[in-house]
Structure 1
């Protein structure tokens, strides 16, 4: 067998093996892997890379080396899953760097973390003032996680006791100009409904690059032609406008009539429409 053919075959097999091993042991971004995980994958990659060009190394020796390294990685992975002590020893554990708003200098020294690095890691979390931090922990992979002081945390709907709609994953119903029937039917719609909705906004299936249906049944899509403007969905805004108009009409009728009973009835209806508007408002403004 010519040397270049053997190199090509070894390289192809090595690439496939590396892909399989990496998918088995590392299912996270490279920045979140531990030093051990990165070292194991790097070692396997070096073995495969050298073995693909060093034709004097027998394939059997390569397989033995690969088996030892991959087997060791798998063995350590299994141990770490079953034993918390081993898991902490291998992957490390979170070390507090700030507590009660104060920097723990001794822990910083133990982790070889300088003040410049601390400030850089805080800036990566969009924190530019140390005084805003209540608690910070340095994770085993070197990432700094931060808890802001109560007064510095963003206001949430829960803090305001404001009802918000539940979020459900949108379904992609068109991809690359082709209808995906399964997700479309899971939302309770069919192809005819989809084409009708597209036609309302001057689009066809063939012109749509990507289309999704949200939890409220509204269709949003992006066209292949980036210069063409896409009309926004109008169903929910129209619903809110109709409710507000009904409330305004009831209030107007209450002002126009001299009949006390009718005035009381119109005022009650206006109040009911106001409550309906408050209930549906989070949903109509969701987009």
Structure 2
């Protein structure tokens, strides 16, 4: 029975340790999986897994290993920030796959990146005809960035010389039924003001599940009772 409790403790400790390390390393580790981030993630996962189940080694050894890996990762991130040449080696560098509409076979072969994979990625961007692409770049985090040829690009309001409005960052006033009083206060608004806006909809504040002021200062409310007779339910 003691072994079970020990495993439970070590497993919980490994998860908490990984969460702490992820917080310390920052969002980039999970958002931009560069070579450096990929190796760090695998190493940390391996250490955490052993911490949870390998009873033959002391817990302190694993904690020390986590500290060392985190410190080395910090150091590599700092070096990459200060030195461009070393940054290319540590994190990788972008590679052009299509230039001026021409596929660069040499770069594709060097990366072992197949035409099937490239076509699949382009389809995921809504591009089914490769002749629409002016440039395609494989970024250091494995994603592909695409610049379409001018004749295939979307028309913007600027192109049509249409008037534009100032956009604002959306502000949430109610989340999961809880009033975000700090957000109201930061924008010079009150709960009473919000309540008046809800009353205009024929509802009470307690009926609101989600409320947000959008980019054009328009208010959007979602209520607990949606009055949808046959909601779509996909499992």
TM-score normalized with structure 2 length:
0.87
Mapping for residues 114-193 of structure 1, pairs under 5 Å: 114-193=114-193
What do residues 57-112 of structure 1 show as CA deviations (whole Å, max 9, x unaligned)?
12333233333322222221221111111111121111111111111111111111
Structure 1 residue 202: Cα displacement? 0.6
Q: Which residue of 2 aligns with 1:233?
A: none
Q: Which residue of 2 aligns with 1:50?
A: 50
Q: Retained in 2: the 8 A contact 1:97–1:107?
A: yes
Structure 1 residue 30: Cα displacement? 4.4
Q: Which residue of 2 aligns with 1:82?
A: 82
TM-aligned CA distance change 1:80 to 1:105, over 3 Å: same
Q: Which runs of 5+ in 1 are unaligned?
A: 230-287
TM-aligned CA distance change 1:38 to 1:220, over 3 Å: same
Q: Distance in 2 between matches of 1:26 and 1:181?
A: 28
Flag the structure with higher helix content: 1
3-state SS in 1 of match to 2:157: coil
3-state SS in 1 of match to 2:158: coil
Q: Which residue of 2 aligns with 1:235?
A: none
Q: Which residue of 1 aligns with 2:97?
A: 97
Structure 1 residue 10: Cα displacement? 1.9
Larger radius of gyration: 1
3-state SS in 1 of match to 2:160: coil
Mapping for residues 61-80 of structure 1, pairs under 5 Å: 61-80=61-80
Structure 1 residue 174: Cα displacement? 2.1
Q: Retained in 1: the 8 A contact 2:29–2:37?
A: no
CA RMSD of aligned residues (A): 2.3
* Shift >4 Å, 4+ stretches: none
TM-score normalized with structure 1 length:
0.72
RCO higher in structure (CA 8 A, sep ≥6): 2
TM-aligned CA distance change 1:63 to 1:39, over 3 Å: same
